[in-house]
Chains A and B, each alone.
Chain A
Amino acid sequence: MNILSQGEGALFSDPSADRARQFFVEKPRALTDKVMTVTEAVHRFIHDDDYFASGGFGCARIPTAVLHEILRQGPKRLSFAGHTATHDFQILCAGNGLGRGPTLAAVDIAYIVGLEARGLSAHARRVMESGEVACTEWTNYTLAVRFKAAAMGVPFLPARSMLGTDTFRHSAARVVACPFTGEKVALLPALYPDVAAIHVHEADRYGNCRIRGTTVADLDLARAARRLIITCERLIPGDDIRQDPSRTVIPFFCVDAVCEVPFGSYPGNMPYEYFSDEDHLRQWLAAEKDVTTFGAFLETHIYGVGDFADYLQRCGGLSRLQELRRHEFLLHRGM
């Protein structure tokens, strides 16, 4: 196939299907107990210079506890998949430009810096406008396709997106004519993250997972990642999984760590469980405007906090969380 045009962006991960197989041949397959704390999971599975990806949709079903722990333990110079990334990206950016880190060295960008209608993150903008983080542009779909290619175990997939735009010019995609039809397509290199974190509703001790609601790109991401940390609202007995295997969406052999973190998507939304804490998200956005204020905010909410339960306590504890459950309409269907 002739390459008709080629994006100028850098590739921050290796798309080789064979080298991914060389990793996966060593990955443990046994049905073993993987329950551990978030502290242990981040320490064991997220390292300096890793490529990291995070599941959910920005402020919905995000693995907040892992993101906070990344800031606390300080793995440095991560590459990151900025796929529908809103509050998750805002947290990781806090590890740059404030005297620690740098947490981020490179970002594949589909959506960053913004929190949808809530506005732009002042600190994420500072970090991304400084030039200290290398960037390559993509789109929400094309990054999802890159995970899908990796999940399929192939080095690329085609799509009809990004064609003709500066988004393509700053990507690492290539355009070819289809060998069957002549139609032009963008070829998207597989994205195998070194490590990913995904928050789910239920998992057993081995890592078999259930998700309710939209899955965004997480089923492919779970399969694409070399190592996978699962946080879950609730641990469930393995026998429950076997009673209804059709509900399992991620099988245990993809998973390296299972961490039970109730309210683990806070301040994000967890479908059927609790709605997002819009007041707390507004506090983040406001605190970020001034660097000193933001430093103090992070000390209070992340660095000076023992663990995620302590963070929840500082944000209003169970009474606030129950209030957020009242705002989750999927819990109150029929009204």
Chain B
Amino acid sequence: MSTPYNAMELMICCAARLLEDGRTAAVGTGVPCAAAMLAQRTHAPHLVMLFEAGGIAPQLPTMPISVGDSRSFHRAVMATSMADIMETCQRGLVDYTFLGGAQIDPYGNLNSTLIGGDYVHPKVRLPGSGGANDLASLCWRIFVVTNHDRRRFVEKLDFLTTPGYLTGPGAREQAGLPPGTGPYRVITDLAVMSYDDETKRMQVHSLHPGVTLAQVRAATGFELGVREPLAVTEPPTPGELRILREEVDPHRYVIGRC
């Protein structure tokens, strides 16, 4: 009998398992931070966290509230500048990054700039790129962790803030982005998505326990392929849940969000 868990705990576990030991991850607050902390406490003790404001390899006492607050470099090996972090990415030394957005399209492009209207009079003005465009341009593998619904998974973005595979195969390289970089996984409350090697379009990689392919497709505003054989996501183990609940997020800042 497995321990009951919620969708947020499952998403964090999915992300954590994909982070290999001895790698570097540019993380933000919330889910990415929880995933990296869980990975460090399980299979990847030498995973290095970087925060865009300048924190390198912190030992977090608790979840930071901001990627620039003092917790983001607590017992770190270095407190440096944003340019230093981003240039570490630009040199090819940063393996993973985690991003989100109000909209994502079939190629993993993200919108965090505006919804509706036009550029001068948007219906909703959102923050903009922040560091997202930089990290998605410069890190090797991009993870997106988000809730799964048709408002978010759209055929066409209102604004392409942050690059995924742009218009498809070869487009990142054509634009001048570093070869070999790009979207890797999208982890939602319903499934894990990867990208087809040929078309660079998003495809279902594994369905979460109890979720059907029809459900995932109904929550997606574009045609979603399937990677065969379609797997079922491994549920969180009791050990993962214990670490997540007792050590990583005892105040349930992140895992309590659902």
Contact = CB atoms under 8 A, between A and B. Distances in A.
Interface of A: 56-60, 82, 84, 86, 109-114, 116-118, 120, 125, 128-131, 135, 137-142, 144-145, 148, 159-167, 170, 175, 183-186, 212-220, 269-272, 275-276, 278, 328-330, 333
Contacts of B52: 140
B47 interface: no
Contacts of A59: 65-66, 68-69
Nearest to A142: B134
A110 B162 CA distance: 12
Nearest to B67: A116
Contacts of A275: 69-70
Contacts of B134: 139-142, 161
B236 interface: no
B41 interface: no
B124 A129 contact: yes
Contacts of A214: 51, 53-55, 68, 72-73, 79-82
A138 B132 CA distance: 11
A26 B136 CA distance: 42
Nearest to A84: B68
Interface residues of B, number: 61
Contacts of A56: 68
B71 interface: yes
A264 to B, nearest CB: 15
Contact of B81 (A82, A215, A269): A215
Contact of B70 (A165, A183, A330): A330
Interface string B186-206: 000000000000000000000
B125 interface: yes
Contacts of B160: 165-167
Interface in B41-83: 51-55, 61-62, 65-75, 79-83
Contact of B129 (A111, A164, A183, A186): A111
DSSP majority for the B interface? loop
A163 B176 contact: yes
A166 B172 CA distance: 14
A142 B89 CA distance: 13
B233 interface: no
Cβ-closest 4 pairs across A and B? A184-B176, A57-B68, A164-B175, A214-B54
Contact of B177 (A163, A166, A212, A278): A163
A220 B137 CA distance: 23
A120 B126 contact: yes
Contact of A116 (B29, B113, B166): B29
Given A148-B83, A329-B61, A110 B53 contact: no
A165 B81 contact: no
A293 to B, nearest CB: 21
Interface in B167-182: 171-172, 174-178
B129 A145 contact: no
A111 B127 contact: yes
Interface string B106-137: 00010001000101111111111111111001
Nearest to B74: A329
Contact of A60 (B70, B90, B174): B70
A117 B131 contact: no
Given A161-B133, A164-B163, A57 B127 contact: no
Contacts of B30: 117
Contact of B128 (A112, A144, A148, A271): A112
A224 to B, nearest CB: 12
A140 to B, nearest CB: 4
A160 B172 CA distance: 11
Contacts of A113: 125-128
Contact of A160 (B65, B70, B90, B128): B90
Contacts of A86: 66
A59 B64 CA distance: 12
Interface string B135-159: 0011000000000000000000001
Given A57-B66, A140-B52, A129 B123 contact: yes
Contacts of B74: 329-330, 333
Given A59-B69, A60-B66, A111-B129, A144 B86 contact: yes
A167 B125 contact: no
A213 B129 contact: no
B146 to A, nearest CB: 14
A145 B109 CA distance: 24
A213 B70 contact: yes
A330 B70 CA distance: 7
Nearest to A170: B119
A57 B172 CA distance: 30
B65 A276 contact: yes
Nearest to B128: A109
A58 B125 CA distance: 18
Contacts of A161: 86, 90, 133-134, 137-138
